[in-house]
Structure 1
Amino acid sequence: MESVRLTEYARLPRAYGRLHLMHSTVDVHGRVHWLLTERAPAPGPAGPYEALVVTADRGEVDETHLSAVTLYSPWLDALPDGGFVLAEARSKVDADHVQVFDALGRPSWTFRVGDAIEHLLTDTSGALWVGYFDEGVYGDDPLSHPGLRRWSSTGEPLWSFSPGPGPLDMSDCLALNVHGTTAWACPYMHHPLIEVRADGSVRVRTTRVSRVGGVAVDGGRVAFVDFDDVLTYGLITEHTVEPEPGAARLLRPDGRALARRNMVCRGPRIHVRERGRTDWSVFDMARGDR
């Protein structure tokens, strides 16, 4: 099998290396953010603590100090007004688990979006796209049951997925790509490619893939990454994704196999960070990585 090496994308500056990494992501504009604290919060409900978001954007580094964070192990993404949203993946139905901070790092909103968050990605309008794993879809929290939802940055529901006949199901939102104000999802179990636009219109295309962990979309082409880091490619038609010949294994920039990793998918790019590391690398369809 052929291989494709990831390209180095961003590193946390050494000056922050002593801090504890809580979460890191790549936003809709390609900026990388690291959520850092002096030490890991103690297990259980967190008392208010201070956190630092370090942002890397085309070689420039900025800091945003967040005050009164109350989440034990939050996910992070950026908002277009310079603020940030934090969310706890697991939640109880009677407790807020999303915090929104303004551009000065001050808490401004808290609300709920449902239990069992698998993906949290903001778009260029500031809306939050949330994909849920199976314990949310089939759990006790009705907010999670659709499997994929879009929320405003103040907690208002904007759109939710509705199952349909045939392959239109959402047992687990395995892969989510948010680019501009459009989301692309690939759910378990039939693995259709679902395109959702900001106006709520939905297009569903059948595929022949399985075990999808990441998806990149570039015009009329798509690339899927499975749980074994194997890339496959397809051509988007009106109702299907037609497979293209060949496959390739995704490797680290140094040519070694990837360890356990997290992925953030944005348009033609799949950003990769190995667990326990702070640096990001990228696969970019638009650059001709195939």
Structure 2
Amino acid sequence: MKSVRLTECARMPRRYGRLHLLHSTVDAYGRAHWLLTERAPGTADPYDALVVTADRGDVYETHLSAVRLYRPRLDALPDGGFVLADTRSKPDEQHVQVFDALGRSSWTFRVGDAIEHLLADTSGALWVGYFDEGVYGDDPLSHPGLRRWSSTGEPLWSFSPGPGPLDMSDCLALNVDGTTAWACPYMHHPLIEVRADGSVRVRTTRVSRVSGLAVDGGRVAFLDLDDVLTYGRITERTVEPEPGAARLVRPDGRALAGRSTVCRGPRIHVRERGGTDWSVLDIGDGDE
């Protein structure tokens, strides 16, 4: 099997290495963000945090005050603010905090338990994908498996199961491009396209064990749990496989050692487990 090398795209400056990394992401505009604290949160007391942002060679800081979340996910909003959400929560917990561009907490609300993906789109809306413990758990907010919320906590759209492959036991992979979301859920692994107006298109696929996906026009790449990429052409009702597959590897050609992904349009951003730096595969580059 041939290999496809990632390309280095964002490196956290070394001067922040002494701080504790809570979460990191790549936003809708390609900027990398790292959520840092002096130490890991250990109590329910509010704490201060620092967001370091890398934007095309520039690095800047945003200081967040009175963070109340124990294990938050992070994304950036178009107005310069940030949204944080705890992965797990109880039904009475306001586990989402929105911060303005000055780092002040402005909104708190909840979006449901068992968050697998938290991605803001270019309008500022939040796409939230849930894993199985949310879909089948006690919090009804999580039961749809995929939802879109406003940045003030108003529900905008939720997934509804249908006949055949249209189910959502676990939102395995989520890609947000502009204001459109692409998802690949367990168990039939359809490719689901959701536009901002709530319209949904479903295509059947022949993939499984998906952990990331990239979409470029009529072409899609699926990344599985073994770091193997498979490609397909998007038709009216199906994704037709392209011949061949490739293994995704580090920029230096070595195998990946565990990783997380953030998927945006034609790009799959990869951060290895325990690391801080981001690499990227762009299927629009035409060199895979």
Report TM bin, short chain: over 0.9
- Structure 2 counterpart of 1:16, one-letter code: Y
Aligned-partner Cα distance in 2 for 1:24–1:137 = 25
Q: Corresponding residue for 2:100?
A: 102
Structure 2 CA distance for partners of 1:243 and 1:92, relative to 1, 3 Å: same
Q: Corresponding residue for 1:233?
A: 231
The residue matched to 1:80 in structure 2 has which SS?
coil
Aligned-partner Cα distance in 2 for 1:259–1:161 = 33
Which of 120, 123, 133 pairs up with 1:122? Answer: 120
Give the deviation of 1:249 after TM superposition.
Answer: 0.3
- Structure 2 counterpart of 1:192, one-letter code: P
Q: Corresponding residue for 1:154?
A: 152
Alignment partner of 1:35 is 2:6: no
Normalising by structure 2, report the TM-score: 0.99
- Structure 2 counterpart of 1:272, one-letter code: V
Which of 164, 174, 177 pairs up with 2:175? Answer: 177
Give the deviation of 1:288 after TM superposition.
Answer: 1.5
- Structure 2 counterpart of 1:191, one-letter code: H
Aligned-partner Cα distance in 2 for 1:219–1:231 = 17
The residue matched to 1:175 in structure 2 has which SS?
strand
- Post-superposition CA distance 1:65-88 (Å, at most 9, x none): 000001011000000000000000
The residue matched to 1:103 in structure 2 has which SS?
coil
Aligned-partner Cα distance in 1 for 2:183–2:238 = 14
Q: Corresponding residue for 2:46?
A: 48
Normalising by structure 1, report the TM-score: 0.99
Which of 85, 88, 102 pairs up with 2:86? Answer: 88
The residue matched to 2:242 in structure 1 has which SS?
strand
The residue matched to 1:164 in structure 2 has which SS?
coil
* Contact 1:283 1:289 survives alignment (8 Å): no
* Contact 1:100 1:107 survives alignment (8 Å): yes
Q: CA RMSD in A?
A: 0.6
Which of 231, 254, 257 pairs up with 1:256? Answer: 254
Identity of aligned residues (%): 86
Aligned-partner Cα distance in 2 for 1:279–1:8 = 8
Aligned-partner Cα distance in 2 for 1:224–1:150 = 23
Aligned-partner Cα distance in 2 for 1:251–1:165 = 38
The residue matched to 1:143 in structure 2 has which SS?
helix
Give the deviation of 1:41 after TM superposition.
Answer: 1.0
Alignment partner of 1:22 is 2:22: yes
Alignment partner of 1:74 is 2:72: yes
Give the deviation of 1:46 after TM superposition.
Answer: 2.5
- Post-superposition CA distance 1:157-202 (Å, at most 9, x none): 0000000000000000000000100000000000000000000000
Aligned-partner Cα distance in 2 for 1:114–1:18 = 33
Q: Corresponding residue for 1:206?
A: 204
Aligned-partner Cα distance in 1 for 2:28–2:153 = 19
Aligned-partner Cα distance in 1 for 2:32–2:284 = 19
Alignment partner of 1:6 is 2:15: no
Q: Which runs of 5+ in 1 are unaligned?
A: none
Give the deviation of 1:289 after TM superposition.
Answer: 3.2
Runs of 4 or more above 2 Å deviation:
none
Aligned-partner Cα distance in 2 for 1:219–1:226 = 21
Q: Which runs of 5+ in 2 are unaligned?
A: none
The residue matched to 1:199 in structure 2 has which SS?
coil
- Post-superposition CA distance 1:98-125 (Å, at most 9, x none): 0000000000000000000000000000
Give the deviation of 1:287 after TM superposition.
Answer: 1.1
